[in-house]
Amino acid sequence: MAELLLEIGTEELPANVVESALAQLQEGVTQRLHDARIALGQMETFGTPRRLIVYIRDVAPSQTDIVREVRGPAVSVAFDALGNPTAAAQGFARKQGVDVKQLEVVSTPQGEYVMAKVFERGKPTPEVAAQILPEAIRSLTFPKMMRWGDGNLRFCRPIRWILALYGSEVVAFDLDGIRSGNRSRGHRFLAPEEFEVSAPAELFHQLAERYVVVDHHQRRESIRQQANRLAQEAGGQVLWDEALLDEVTHLVEYPTTLLGRFDPGFLNLPEPILITAMKKHQRFFAVVDAQGRLLPCFIAVRNGNDLHLDIVREGNERVLTARFNDAHFFYERDRQQPLEAFVGELRRIVFQEKLGTMADKTERLRAMAHEMAQHAGIEPELAQRAATLCKADLATEVVMELPALQGVMGREYALLSGEHELVAQAIAEHYMPRFAGDALPESLPGRLLAASDRVDTLVGYVGALQIVPTGSGDPFGLRRAAQGVVQILATVEGMPRLWAFVDSAVRAYAEQGVSVGDEGLRLLAQIFLQRMEALLEDEGIRYDVVQAVLADQRVEPFSARANAHMLNALPMERLSTVALAATRVRNILKAGEAVKVVPTEEWRSPAEWRAQVDVALFQHDEERNLYHVTSQHEGEILEAASASRREQVFASLEKFTDTVNRFFDAVLVMAPNEAVRRNRLLLLASVDALYRTIGDFSRLIV
């Protein structure tokens, strides 16, 4: 057993690709080694801006030997009438490297054939790895790929060296003109010279001596500890941003933090402007006091040691001062007029070429907000005012300079303009959630506007233009928009229905001459169902329960989530009793669909189905009992469902389980008489509609 090491040395990689590339490398190398029958031990990956490393302990010296069974010609062809091997048998044996006497006869469904057992000795690991490693490198994908020089290799950045060792032996291969070897390089500025590596484990000691911390977890913790110490010395604490910390970690190989300062006069600017300018432009961390107020200093991270640190600090301070001066100028310009004055400028900002400008989107949001506010119990004028102003800050100079402040500056300028506090809050919150795990809007107007904004985008892109995200790409963030809608509507009670939002957006687009057809609505339903399925599975709901509650195309997120959690928590003995009865109903209705009697996928209320039932056609007491019992429980089921009392709905369904089973034991649903048959199917359709108040129980595994 020995160690296997691969190091890919590159030009500086973007910070956001390092961890993904390491995960791909680990999976690709592991799978290929397993497929090649090479046993291996623990694997570790390490990454910096200039290198991706795979390090594997206890790798077998060769492939595992195997014996392959190879089928040859039929016995009738392999042997003559006297049982002697023919030329076909001899040629087959020769090709497999065995004596013709070693051929065996095997029986198969196609007849008798000769078979050879071929012993295959495993190849040495370096020889196999020389094929595997370049394949694994070529298989890596990145958001943006490039070629360089005269080669054809596509990678995120140019590859400058490849180190590949099995023990002390070089795994030799050529990757588009780049020869693997046993040489690596240290820190670009502090130790740029090449050096020879004699064994895989030695690389890590040699890199540490040359100012490279290969473990990104170690670099991250080093940055945190150094920054905390400097902030404490300045009388404050670091305002940590975990995403920024991750980014900076992957921008440096040898982190050294420094404390910089800026003119306290800049603290008169809104804190979000200062924090965002530090973060987005310079990758600096802000420092706050014990009360969370911003202090006139910052933490920067240098890719190097502390040599000439004062010069680096002065340079960072000068650059940040220039950024703050720009921000101050833009802020003062913006304040010269109220936020409403920027609404007209939205005509110059394109939302989507075929869907109009941001001014057009604002008009649609105004119509949706006014309509949806009435469903949510919000003052329509307040909701409409928030919709009018929610995109206005996109035309301000601060947001054009710092786009991450959209919504944040809208709230700031709305308050300065004397707008209602709820209007200002809704403007800021309507961009939430911005990413997975982000907080949801807290105010009801904010939730309403956030859902309306995303639904408008989805109805336009997916419904009207039929642009849908694919497995490999979602350039317009449609999946994220759908996820935001589902999160808001599934977790917040009292919001309007999802399809009320959709229908309102469709009408708003129609007013502007953009139509949404049936196919667009189907695609919308599909993307919402996919996001609801992801949400429920993330919350630990069983797969079959997810499928049951999402059976209807236009299911509502809040009721689906509540039903899913209720079903997931039920004891199996209770769940199975109801599910089996409901499945009997569902199955016979599918048979009715086959003879064009009842459309099983068409959802109607229990009362709509029951209105078509003719009680005069009943021939059995079990029919009458099922009709009357379900009629009696319908009111309590629908009332409990509307009040989100899911357990009570299920308890009511349990009450007529025996009645359903007795019906099936006594009644032939598919009666010869067409009128009787249709009447019984309509009765069962009304029962099925009650079950589907929760979901399609036939999809449960019980």
| 164 plus 233 within the same structural domain | no
Sheet holding 255-261, edge to edge: 237-238, 285-288, 294-303, 255-261
Residue 400 reports pLDDT greater than 70:
yes
Q: The domain containing residue 590 runs over which residues?
A: 565-699
Side chain identity at residue 224, one-letter code: R
Residue 339 lies in a domain: no
Q: What is the mean pLDDT of residues 609-633?
A: 93
Distance CA 523, CA 518 (A): 9
Coil/strand/helix, residue 418: coil
| 395 plus 460 within the same structural domain | yes
Confidence band, pLDDT 50/70/90 cuts, at residue 265: very high
Q: 692: closest CA among 608, 615, 617, 591? A: 608
6 beta partners: 54, 164
Q: What is the pTM of this model?
A: 0.80
The answer to whether residues 173 and 134 touch, using CB atoms and an 8 Å cutoff, is yes
| 666 plus 689 within the same structural domain | yes
Per-residue pLDDT tens for 27-65? 999 999 999 989 999 999 999 999 999 999 999 999 888
As a whole number of angstroms, the longest Cα–Cα distance in the chain is 108
52 beta partners: 8, 47
Alpha carbons within 13 A on the beta-carbon side of 54 = 28
Coil/strand/helix, residue 546: helix
Alpha carbons within 13 A on the beta-carbon side of 341 = 9
Q: What is the pLDDT at residue 594?
A: 53
Considering only residues 109 and 573, tell me which one the structure prediction assigns the higher pLDDT: 573
Which token pair is 661? 């089973």
| 185 plus 259 within the same structural domain | no
Considering only residues 88 and 237, tell me which one the structure prediction assigns the higher pLDDT: 237
- Out of 111-120, 133-142, 271-280, 441-450, which region has the weakest mean confidence (pLDDT)? 111-120
Q: 407: closest CA among 423, 390, 388? A: 390
Distance CA 292, CA 80 (A): 95
> 334, 364, 395 — which closes off a domain?
334
Distance CA 172, CA 168 (A): 12
Side chain identity at residue 687, one-letter code: V
Residue 320 lies in a domain: yes
Q: What is the pLDDT at residue 549?
A: 94
| 199 plus 166 within the same structural domain | yes
Residue 242 lies in a domain: yes
162 beta partners: 8, 180
Which token pair is 227? 């920054």
| 399 plus 490 within the same structural domain | yes
Distance CA 19, CA 278 (A): 24
Q: What is the pLDDT at residue 554?
A: 84
> Could you give the number of structural domains in the chain?
5
Residue 601 reports pLDDT greater than 70:
no
Residue 545 lies in a domain: no
Other CB atoms within a 10 A radius of the CB of residue 477 amount to: 14
The answer to whether residues 296 and 235 touch, using CB atoms and an 8 Å cutoff, is no
- Read off the CATH number of the domain in which 673 is found: 1.10.730.10
Per-residue pLDDT tens for 195-211? 999 999 999 999 999 99
The answer to whether residues 202 and 7 touch, using CB atoms and an 8 Å cutoff, is no
Which token pair is 540? 């630990």
Query: What single DSSP character describes residue 65?
Result: P
Taking all residues of the chain, what is their mean pLDDT, rounded to a whole number? 93
| 45 plus 137 within the same structural domain | yes
| 601 plus 659 within the same structural domain | yes
| 71 plus 58 within the same structural domain | no
- Out of 91-100, 313-322, 368-377, which region has the weakest mean confidence (pLDDT)? 91-100
The answer to whether residues 576 and 702 touch, using CB atoms and an 8 Å cutoff, is yes
Distance CA 146, CA 11 (A): 12
- Region of residue 624 (phi > 0: left; psi between -120 and 50: alpha; otherwise: beta): alpha
Residue 538 lies in a domain: no
Per-residue pLDDT tens for 142-187? 989 999 988 889 999 999 999 999 999 999 999 999 999 999 999 9
Residue 194 to residues 37, 210, 305: CA-CA distances in angstroms? 34, 11, 20
Considering only residues 120 and 99, tell me which one the structure prediction assigns the higher pLDDT: 99
> 334, 368, 394 — which closes off a domain?
334
Distance CA 660, CA 629 (A): 10
Residue 574 to residues 273, 567, 578: CA-CA distances in angstroms? 57, 10, 7
| 661 plus 608 within the same structural domain | yes
| 386 plus 461 within the same structural domain | yes
Sign of CA dihedral 251, 252, 255, 256: negative
Residue 84 lies in a domain: yes
Q: What percent of the chain is helix, strand and coil (3-state, nearest 5)?
A: 55, 15, 30
Give the contacts of 471 (CB within 8 A, at least 6 positions apart). Answer: none
163 beta partners: 7, 181
Residue 552 lies in a domain: no
Per-residue pLDDT tens for 550-559? 998 888 999 9
Confidence band, pLDDT 50/70/90 cuts, at residue 395: very high
| 360 plus 475 within the same structural domain | yes
Q: What is the mean pLDDT of residues 283-287?
A: 97
Q: 295: closest CA among 227, 231, 368? A: 231
The answer to whether residues 229 and 256 touch, using CB atoms and an 8 Å cutoff, is no
Q: 266: closest CA among 295, 299, 233, 306? A: 295
Residue 243 lies in a domain: yes
Sign of CA dihedral 85, 90, 93, 97: positive
Dihedral in degrees, nearest 10, Cα atoms 617, 619, 622, 627 = 10
Distance CA 380, CA 371 (A): 8
Kindly tell me the burial class for residue 290, based on how many C-beta atoms sit within 10 Å of its own C-beta (0-12, 13-18, 19 or more). Answer: exposed
> 189, 209, 229 — which closes off a domain?
209
Secondary structure in 3-state letters for 433-450: CCCCCCCCCCCHHHHHHH
Q: What are phi and psi of 194, to 5 degrees?
A: -70, 150
Helix (H) or strand (E) holding 300: strand 294-303
Which token pair is 509? 């687009």
10 beta partners: 159
Helix (H) or strand (E) holding 165: strand 159-166
